[in-house]
Amino acid sequence: MNFIIINGRVVDPSQKLDRKANIVIRDGKIAGITTTNKIPDGYAVFDASDLLIMPGLVDMHCHLRDPGQTSKEDIYTGTMSAAAGGFTSIACMANTVPVNDTATITKYILDECRSHAHVNVHVIGAITKGLQGEVMAEMAGMKQSGIVAVSDDGMCVMNAQLMRRAMEYADTLGLPVIIHAEDECMCHGAVMHEGAVSTRLGLIGKPAESEEIIVKRDIALARMTGAHLHVAHVSSAESVKAIAQAKKEGLRITAEVTPHHLSLTDEALLHYNVNAKVNPPIRDNAHRKALIKALKEGVIDAIATDHAPHTALDKNCGMDLAACGMVGFETAFSLAYKLVAEKQLSVSQLVQRMSTTPAAILGLNAGSLKKGRPADITIVDPRSTWTVDSSQFFSKGRNSPFDGWKLPAPVVYTFVNGKVVYRNERSIAS
């Protein structure tokens, strides 16, 4: 279908565009952006008056749980959840069962996505076989099958020499290396951030230094190898300082932060709320403020969900045994938009960090409304609010600490290749 979206505020950092305009879509691609009121013959019209139009959101860090853990999520439900959150492109991590450490598993995931996905799915392969941190995975074979980066997310590669060789190899293949920065020797038995709250609760905490140590080590390895290092889910103020210094040196360093690390502090666990148990842990307010400042200044490049669905059985088993992670697709944009409402980010900065930049980091044909690009478009209503109800999520996961929160800017429409993959009936009706 050919159509035109009219009267919306179009924000596209890739073109330094922020104005009221119309977007023309032809054959699933952007045919142009215009301010004329003339409607081409044979085109359907979407009236986006008072709505915010942007390039489709790009999530460079999520967990779809297929293969092996489809009781938690599958490609159909996970990508429907992504569409409901405004995401048109997502990249799934390698910690499946079996681990995505071979070309065969990569091919399986991509084949399943072609059959069942509602949005564009890109695949991240493992750095090491089985995420064991002992033997390098088959990066070249996975690259040929379609991976866009490598990561042992959920585990830290503790062997520095192996990490060095992995960076060298990944660099020859043009693959970013995404790290889960956590010195495991400092974290045995830990369930949350080490600080006043963990002491009050009598729980073992993870010190922020456990992240900082690995961030600094891997920055040194990036300096040594010239590889593109991407630091996943930054949670520590000292990590931010190290990343900022590395960028000043001109190293190829990028970083991401999650909406939950921007929105919560460790006080969210005061009543043993297992849905706020994540890894890296949510830290205290000083760390949260440092993350927001780094995001605003561009030290942190992207916002990524780390969408990690779990069953109720995985979560409702006490703080020590509860799985780490929370669902994130359907709340991510609205949580991040709170920073706009609080005047801490501009709309353009937010779109840059949730669409344009993550697409660029992974080398995706996404994150832009330039002529000829796929018509991957997200439309939100900045005037409205909505109340989080996890029982209504498209995801199989209900593990959200934001249940009951009133949030701004609900997603109204999500388009992938010019097709509506999500339509928010309640928001449209209001």
* Catalytic center residues: 306
Total Cβ atoms within 10 A of residue 235? 28
Sequence-distant (6+) residues with CB within 8 A of 315 are 274, 275, 322, 323, 399
Which one, of 173, 166, 174, 180, lies nearest residue 222 by Cα? 166
CA gap 302, 355 in Å, rounded: 8
**At residue 150, what are phi and psi to the nearest 5 degrees?**
-125, 145
Burial of 21 by CB count in 10 Å (0-12 exposed, 13-18 middle, 19+ buried)? buried
CA gap 235, 343 in Å, rounded: 22
Which one, of 310, 317, 320, 340, lies nearest residue 401 by Cα? 310
CA gap 399, 402 in Å, rounded: 9
DSSP state of 39: P
The answer to whether 141 touches 103, Cβ cutoff 8 Å, is: yes
Q: Please name every residue paired with 44 in a beta bridge, in sequence order, or none if there are none.
A: 3
Planar angle of CA 150, 161, 230, nearest 5 degrees? 35
Query: Which three-class secondary structure string do you get for 303-337?
Result: ECCCECCCCHHHHCCCCCCCCCCECCHHHHHHHHH
Q: Which amino acid would we find at residue 134? A: E
End-to-end alpha carbon distance in the chain: 26
